[in-house]
Structure 1
Amino acid sequence: MSAPKVLVVLTSHDKLGDTGKPTGWYLSEFAHPYDVLNSASVSLTVASPRGGLSPVDPSSIDAAKDDSISTNFINSPSTKPLFEQTLPLSDFVGNPSAIAPFAAIFFPGGHGPMFDLATDPQSQQLIREFWDAGKVVAAVCHGPAALVNVKLADGSHLLKGRKVTGFTNEEEDMVQLSKFMPFMLEDKLKEAVGPEGAFEKAPSAWGEKVVVDAEGRLITGQNPASATGVGKAILKAISS
C-alpha cells in the first residue's frame, strides 16, 4: 500500500488588514504538523489560492527562533519549495482525479487565512469535495477560518452541529489584533456550529486544545501550541 498523502492549503495574503504590516501563514503551525507527518512517511503537497510563493508571517519566524523544528523547516532546501512553489487551487478544484490520491486536506493558521481563505470560493469548493469524498478536513489556529463559510451540496453548513476549536477571542485580544480582523474567528465558528454544536477551548489562553469530531474526519486545533497535536490527529485519522 502506498503512503498516505495530505494536501496542505496555505494563504496567499500578505498584509494585515489596512495596517500595512506583513502577515501570512504561521511557521510553527505548518512546521510541526509537517514534522509529525513527514516522519511517518506521509507525502505533503502544498497549494494556495494564487499558487507560487506563499508568504510566511515574519513575526512567526521571530517567535520560533528557539524552535529547532520550525527553524530547520524554514531554512532547509528540502522544505523551502513547499511554500515557495505552491500549486494553485485551480489545479485541484473540480478535478476528482487530482484529489483522489489525498487522504486529508489541512489548513495551517496565521492571520492570512482570515483575509483570503475564509471567502475564497475555490477553497470552499475544494473543502466540500474532500468532505463529500469521505476524506479528512483539518485546520489549526486561524486555519479554521477556511471552514466558516463552507456549505455542503444540500445547502447545510459543513460545521453545523459539530465540535470545533480555533483561535479564541481572548487570544486575539491578547495579541492586540482584534480591531484589524475582518471578523472574530471564535464568533464565526460558534455561529457556524449553531446550538447543536460546540466551540471548545483550553482552560486558559495559549493552552493546547485539539478537537476531533465526525468520527475523526474533522480535526481542529486552537493555537500554535496545538499544532503538533493536530499533526498527530491527522496521522491517526489517515492511518486507521
Structure 2
Amino acid sequence: MANNKKILMVVTNGQEMSNGHFAGIWLSEFAEPYEELRANGYEVTVVSPKGGESRIDRNSLEDDTIPKGWKEIARLLKNTEVIDNVNAEDYDGIFLPGGHGTMFDFPENAKLHSLLRNFAEDEKSIGAVCHGPAGLVDAALNDGTPIVKNKTVTAFTDSEERGVGLENEVPFLLETKLREQGASFVAADDWAENTQTDGKLVTGQNPQSSVNVAKQLVKTLEG
C-alpha cells in the first residue's frame, strides 16, 4: 500500500466538434483508474486546463446515465481545480484519462507540458489512456527532445478513430502524431486491451485498457 502518495489526474474541459457533438471526458477512463489508485492508497487530485466542470462525453454513458457505483466519482468532475495552480513536486505521478476532448485542450497546454517535462526529468510515473496521450504530443524534455521519442507507447489508434467515424472531427490522428514525434507505437486490434510500459511511462490504447493502465502505473509507483 502507498503511504500518503499523491497522484495528479488531468482531465479535459471538452469542446464541441463541428458535427455538434460535445467531446468530453470518457467516464470509464477516469472512474476505473481513480478507483484503482484509491484502492491502492493513493490520494488523487483532479485538475483541468480551465478548472470547473469536465463534461462527461455522452457517448461514454449507457442511456445517458451515470452508473450508480460511479456517481460519487463523477461528482469530482463537476468542479475541478485549475491546472495552473499545480506544482509538480507535490505529486508522485500524473495520469491523463481520455475522451475526445483531450485532443483539443491537451496538446497546446503549456502548463501540462511543463508538468510532464518535470515528471519525465525527475523519473516520476506518467500514465495515459486512449486519447489521454494527446497530452504527450509536443511535450518535450529540457533539451527539446520529445518525451515520447524512442519510447514504446500506445493510444487510441488511427484505425479505431476511423472506426468511430471521427477521423475528420479531430485536429489530428493521435497514432500518426505520436509516430511522427519518434514514438515506437504499438497498435493492437481495434478495442483490444493493450497496455505498454516503458520505464515510468505507461500508456493504454482504449477504454478496455483503463484498469490495466492504472494497475501498471501503480507498479511503477511502487517500484
Fold match (TM-score > 0.5): yes
CA distance in structure 2 between the partners assigned to 1:239 and 1:64 by the alignment: 37
Distance in 2, matches of 1:101 and 1:121, equals: 18
Partner-residue secondary structure (3-state), 1:171 = helix
Match of 1:53 in 2: 53
Counterpart residue identity of residue 92, structure 2: A
Q: Deviations over 1:48-100 (max 9, x none)?
A: 000011111011022796xx9x5422x12xx34421121111101xxxxx332
Contact 2:187–2:205 (8 Å) recurs in 1: yes
> Paired residues, what number?
222
Q: Deviations over 1:108-131 (max 9, x none)?
A: 000001011011111111111222
Cα 1:128–1:71 shift into 2, 3 Å: farther
Matches within 5 A, 1:181-220: 181-193=170-182, 197-202=183-188, 204-213=189-198, 215=199, 217-220=200-203
Counting only pairs closer than 5 Å after superposition, residues 92-131 of structure 1 correspond to structure 2 as: 92=86, 98-131=87-120
The equivalent residue for 1:168 is 157
Aligned to 2:7: 6
Q: What's the secondary structure of 1:83's corresponding residue? A: coil
SS at 1:33 equivalent: helix
Distance 2:68 2:186 in 1: 30
SS in structure 2 at match of 1:179: coil
Tell me which of 129, 133, 136 is aligned to 1:147. Answer: 136
Is the partner of 2:76 in helix, strand or coil? helix
CA distance in 1, matches of 2:63, 2:169: 20
Cα distance between partner residues in 1 of 2:167 and 2:142? 33
Which 4+ residue blocks in structure 1 deviate beyond 4 angstroms?
A: none
Displacement of 1:199 in angstroms is 0.5
Over aligned residues, Cα RMSD in angstroms? 1.7
Given that residues 58 and 64 in structure 2 are in contact (C-alpha distance below 8 angstroms), is that contact kept between their aligned partners in structure 1?
Answer: no
What is the TM-score with the length of structure 2 in the denominator? 0.94
Contact 2:139 2:147 in 1 (8 A): yes
| 1:72 to 2:58 alignment | no
Pick one of 195, 204, 209 that aligns with 1:226. 209
Q: CA deviation at 1:182?
A: 0.5
* Structure 1 residues 64 and 168: CA distance shift in structure 2, 3 A: farther
AA aligned to 1:138 is G
Aligned counterparts of 2:68 and 2:219: Cα–Cα separation in 1: 26
Structure 1 length-normalised TM: 0.87
Partner residue in 2 for 1:84: 78
Residue correspondence of structure 1 range 36-51 to structure 2 within 5 A: 36-51=36-51
Instruction: Confirm or deny: 8 A CA contact 2:3 2:42 kept in the other structure.
Output: no
Aligned-pair distance for 1:135?
1.0
SS of the residue aligned with 1:36?
helix
